[in-house]
Structure 1
């Protein structure tokens, strides 16, 4: 963990605190990002009390400048923002929180307050569709039928698709290779969901292995 990063850390663990004294009102800006899609969801402000409450409950609490009180996002709607990762910038005066939203974030009913039309990478949109099929057990859905057959069948399917990719890689038909690669990636997303994991979890592993050239 870097000097400017907290990951689901309780207060008092020796990690850095935001420098609330940099601002006359002692409020630091907080950027909230979807942990799965990386979409920027909203901007809010925290005082030290809101920050500590967020750490303790793992649900984002802001200080409302209009209401002049602590405000837990979702306290009336139920659309909480569950903390996945918290990071400080290099000046210790801005927080980036990656969160898992329990529902729409904006008061308009939109997923984000910034009216983005592209909800992150298509892979993350596909991941959400797969999760929805898993939860709703939609009749006639291929994905739902895979989940019904269990983890062994899903893992077997990933293995079969991997073999197909290897076979097509040795051939010269690029279209067939791309289609088999897409099938493999799709079934891999299903397997991740069956394991209760997300693409972002795998990204974290890859990022942890990455060493900058100047390191």
Structure 2
């Protein structure tokens, strides 16, 4: 959050709270979303006091209908959701806490509360396999992780391209350089946008395989980018640590 938000006047907060369309019980749906991955973490309810406390504390706070009391996510587990921004929908009758979770969000220990695919359940009603609701980028990351785990499982089988890259770091590095060069060429040779998108997809995929070998998650990369939003390019460059010699 911007520093100016720490000095928001009481009058402004009250005015905003007045503009929310609370239901007959004084509640609205409150959804927590990961600021970096976009993953929906959980859904609860908030009343006027819960939203006010979230604004002030920057910790996702809800109203428990069963206990008729406020509760801050993580107050017992310490798995807080640190709120970076709050969004109201167009009708002002639901809110999103956009934040960074500390540890798993679900009481089951899962990363989010959404891990049961309806289509998986329809295909295999007895299946107990959990699959997090992932965007395209994170589905790709999960597939790359699976390929890495499979490297030793089929020693005599024909390896996939991803497995080949894991097994040959020189090949992987050459492909990252090659795909970066081809992306650059789409600009230098004024190729159409579909070609640029295709080359970027190739580069992103190969770069993600490299990141997996380095044990770096895409979430960590996006967190770095988010933290640079408020910095100028010169400030960011000067803040980097010099590599050890």
- Which of the five TM-score ranges fits, normalised by the shorter chain? 0.5 to 0.7
Unaligned runs of 5+ in 1: 1-5, 130-157, 203-215
After superposition, the Cα gap between the structure-2 partners of 1:110 and 1:192, relative to the gap in structure 1 and judged at 3 Å, is: closer
| Residue 181 of structure 2, aligned match among 159, 163, 169 | 163
What does residue 17 of structure 2 align with?
Answer: 17
What does residue 197 of structure 1 align with?
Answer: 224
Which structure has more RCO (C-alpha within 8 Å, separation ≥ 6)? 1
What does residue 205 of structure 2 align with?
Answer: 182
The SS at the match of 1:197 is helix
What does residue 83 of structure 1 align with?
Answer: 83
Unaligned runs of 5+ in 2: 117-130, 145-175, 190-194, 230-245
**1:123 correspondence with 2:137:** yes
What does residue 26 of structure 2 align with?
Answer: 26
Q: Would you say the 8 A contact 2:60–2:81 is kept in 1?
A: yes
The SS at the match of 2:224 is coil
Q: Would you say the 8 A contact 2:61–2:71 is kept in 1?
A: yes
What does residue 233 of structure 2 align with?
Answer: none
Greater helix share, 1 or 2?
A: 2
After superposition, the Cα gap between the structure-2 partners of 1:95 and 1:191, relative to the gap in structure 1 and judged at 3 Å, is: closer
1:52-88 alpha-carbon deviations (Å, 9 max, x no partner): 1111111111111111211000001011011122111
**1:97 correspondence with 2:94:** no
After superposition, the Cα gap between the structure-2 partners of 1:160 and 1:17, relative to the gap in structure 1 and judged at 3 Å, is: farther
After superposition, the Cα gap between the structure-2 partners of 1:200 and 1:38, relative to the gap in structure 1 and judged at 3 Å, is: farther
The SS at the match of 1:17 is helix
TM-score normalised by length of structure 2: 0.51
- Of structures 1 and 2, the larger Rg is shown by 2
- Distance, in Å, in 1 between the alignment partners of 2:137 and 2:61 is 30
- Distance, in Å, in 2 between the alignment partners of 1:195 and 1:113 is 22
Q: Could you say what the CA RMSD is over the residues aligned between the two structures, in angstroms?
A: 4.5
